[in-house]
Amino acid sequence: MAQESEVAKGFARRLVALMESKGYVSKRNRSGVDVTALAKGAGVSYEMARRYVEGTAVPRPDVLRAIAAWLLVDPAELAFGGQGKASELDPDMLAECLLAVQEAQRLAQVNMTEDQAARVVVQLYREARKGEPVSSGALAAFLRAMTK
């Protein structure tokens, strides 16, 4: 049981450091990070997100991957720190995804919240890294369909 506690504490240290480096800070939370944003990004309850940052719980593998995608880091980096191999972020590809989301919103005449747009950019980036084309036209058609 003590070993599990150390794993959770180590995960929490890495998670908090990564969240701070990405600007998800909060003076209102004891942990110093925005737990609400983590909960949304991970797709978990506020209580579960709070347990992750406080080091009393470790996420399931699917939640770990969701958190890593939200933070734009390799899951191994989040899970193991320096022991994991972090993937390189492609700034040109990321910029292309961001521009595609902006253009899609313009074409579809839809305004997403920053959080929604960020999630779409992350998903597009993940698909682009797998070789899928980034298409603002296809995304605009999707956005129009979703708002009807």
Q: Please give the pLDDT value at position 85.
A: 44
**Comparison of pLDDT for 6 and 107, the residue scoring more:** 107
How many CB atoms within 10 Å of residue 78? Answer: 21
Signed CA dihedral, 23, 26, 30, 36: sign only: negative
Q: Please give the pLDDT value at position 83.
A: 46
Could you give the count of Cα atoms lying within 13 Å of 11 in the half-sphere of its Cβ?
A: 26
CA 140 – CA 107 distance, rounded (Å): 6
Q: What domains are there in the chain, each with its CATH number?
A: 2-83 (1.10.260.40), 91-146 (no CATH)
CA distances from 95 to 41, 46, 90, 100 (A): 20, 31, 9, 8
Q: Please give the pLDDT value at position 23.
A: 92
Signed CA dihedral, 56, 60, 61, 65: sign only: negative
- pLDDT tens digit sequence for 41-62: 999 999 999 999 999 998 988 8
Lookup: tokens for 51: 């347990």
CA 54 – CA 46 distance, rounded (Å): 12
User: Is the whole-model pTM more than 0.75?
Assistant: no
Q: What is the distance of C-alpha 35 from the center of its chain?
A: 13
Dihedrals phi, psi of 57, to nearest 5 degrees: -150, 155
Residue with tokens 């492609």: 90
Lookup: tokens for 42: 């991970």
Q: Please give the pLDDT value at position 87.
A: 52
